[in-house]
Amino acid sequence: MRELERISTKLAKFRPSLTLELKSLAAEREERGLPVYDFGLGETKGELAPHIREAGIRAYREGQTMYGDPAGLIELRRSVLEWLGLQDRYGPENVVITAGAKQSLLNIFLSVCNPADTVLFDAAPWVSYQPLAIAAYASPIMVLPRAGELNRLKVSPADLKRNLKMRPHARLFLLNSPVNPTGQLYSADEVEALLQVCVEHGIFFVLDRLYWRIVFEGRTYPEPRVDDETRPWLIQVDGISKNFRRTGGLRIGWSVAPVDVTRAMVNLQSHYTSGPAVPTQYSALAAITEPYDEELCRALQGKRDLLRKEAEALAYVEVWPTPASFYSFWDVRGVFGKRAPDGRLLESSSDVAEYLVQAAGVVTGPGTAFMQDGYLRVSFATPDDQIVAGVRAAATALEQLS
């Protein structure tokens, strides 16, 4: 039997992420003693807050290591509602604690989609949405906004309606705001209008709000309307991976959803994970019950401004404004058609990303990974000196194109 046939057709088609390939090119440079500037990161650096660490250690010391409730610790589920300001609108029976936000997403797809149902994503979907939907036997479809980059790739209600007309089997629309990779934030009116379309069409509106505390210029996160009309269709996904330092590996996320959907997810989870690790749930509980430390958001805003200033020197590149998240989105279509000093023609964002790694040691996320060739995702959750030196190295590499 050939290797491919030993693996299911579905999973055999999964590709490792492009960023991993770039990382191996970067490692080759490092071996040669050349500098590398990593803008591919999807998490913040720094110290884990002592109260988060101590809560995990205490849980181990006190033997909190037996099976827990598959829905997650009841105290954590209650605290999740307070963290989201939803304690008056939902109860713990609406919350499932999961192994990262990723598992919440897979739970949702598996719980509400029948085979071949359509799930609609926004125009630059985060890399794992599609594999997760496919793993759940659903068909992922990207909603392409008519306004395109004029509205920074944000989906409008008219875009969503147009797609719903074409796809009667749509079960849900997944909105990610703040958006990874574009760094955009949907306003309260934009969220409301999209939610309204979903309610009218009787499809789920799934809001992935994983970066919701990282909104700049003192903005507050535009909350979706939660009332009797929206509650049956609204599902929110969140977690601790992005809004705190060094917490991605704790693997805790959650969903807040209608009771029937939550029940289905808990049932599923009871069979395949029995809920996430209990000690890390205690760490998550400590993280979200302390008053939120805005230090991370302030530091990231400073990095965003630094990167923006340095990036003014980049030839052929337009840098989008970043109202939220820690990703700068670069329009690199101006580079297409140019030649590298070795004569290689740069024709896609993967070519540009590869060139920047090989010529300057600058690691970015090519837009092809997010179904938007023409752009690079640049994470600025990296030390200031790396931002300055890395953007300068990229500027020098771009100047060498002809």
For residues 373 and 315, what is the distance between their CA atoms, to the nearest angstrom?
18
Q: If 0-12 CB within 10 Å is exposed, 13-18 middle and 19+ buried, where does residue 69 land? A: middle
Contacts of 190 (CB under 8 A, 6+ apart): 154, 156, 222
Choice from 241, 262, 364, 379 touching ligand PLP (CB under 6 A)? 241
Backbone angles phi, psi at 47, to 5 degrees: -90, 145
Q: Which residue is nearest to ligand PLP (CB)?
A: 100
| Alpha carbon distance 300, 184 (integer Å) | 15
Give whichever of 244 and 330 is closer to ligand PLP, judged by the CB atom.
244
Closest to ligand PLP by CB, 44 or 180? 180
Q: Which is nearer to ligand PLP, 104 or 358 (CB)?
A: 104
**What is the distance between the alpha carbons of residues 333 and 338, in angstroms, rounded to a whole number?**
10
**CB of 132 or CB of 398, closer to ligand PLP:** 132
Whether 100 contacts 73, CB under 8 Å: no
Nearer to ligand PLP, 178 or 374 (CB): 178
Please pick, from the candidates 121, 126, 216, 221, the single residue that binds ligand PLP as defined by CB under 6 A: 126
The smaller minimum CB distance to ligand PLP, of residues 95 and 210, is found at 210
Interaction of residue 123 with ligand PLP, rule CB under 6 A: no
Stretch that binds ligand PLP, among 99-107, 272-280, 314-322, 380-388 (CB under 6 A): 99-107
100 binds ligand PLP, rule: CB under 6 A? yes
What is the closest distance, in whole angstroms, from the C-beta atom of residue 295 to ligand PLP in the complex? 21
User: With binding defined as CB under 6 A, does residue 177 bind ligand PLP?
Assistant: no
State the amino acid at position 311 in one-letter form. A
184 binds ligand PLP (CB under 6 A): no
CB 91 within 8 A of CB 300: no
Strand, helix or coil for residue 42: coil
Q: Using CB under 6 A, pick the residue from 180, 255, 280, 382 that binds ligand PLP.
A: 180
Q: How far is the CB of 250 from ligand PLP (least distance, A)?
A: 9
* Tokens encoding 345: 């023609």
CB of 66 to ligand PLP, least distance (A): 24
In the bound state with ligand PLP, the residue whose beta carbon lies nearer, of 39 and 126, is 126
Q: Rg of the chain's alpha carbons, rounded to an integer?
A: 21
Give the binding range for ligand PLP (CB under 6 A) out of 71-79, 95-103, 167-175, 393-401: 95-103
355: contact with ligand PLP by CB under 6 A:
no
* Separation of alpha carbons 41 and 203, rounded Å: 33
By the rule CB under 6 A, 42 interacts with ligand PLP = yes
Q: Which residues contact 242 (CB under 8 A, 6 or more apart)?
A: 43, 44, 210, 211, 214, 248, 325, 326
**Contacts of 205 by beta carbon, 8 Å cutoff, 6+ apart:** 172, 173, 175, 194, 195, 198, 199, 224, 230, 233, 234, 235
Q: Which of 84, 160, 210, 284 binds ligand PLP (CB under 6 A)?
A: 210
Residue type, 72: G
Choose between 118 and 379: whose C-beta lies nearer to ligand PLP: 379
Asked if 239 is part of the footprint of ligand PLP (rule: CB under 6 A), the reply reads yes
- Residue among 206 and 359 whose Cβ is closer to ligand PLP: 206
Residues in contact with ligand PLP by CB under 6 A are: 42, 100-102, 126, 176, 180, 208, 210, 239, 241, 248, 253
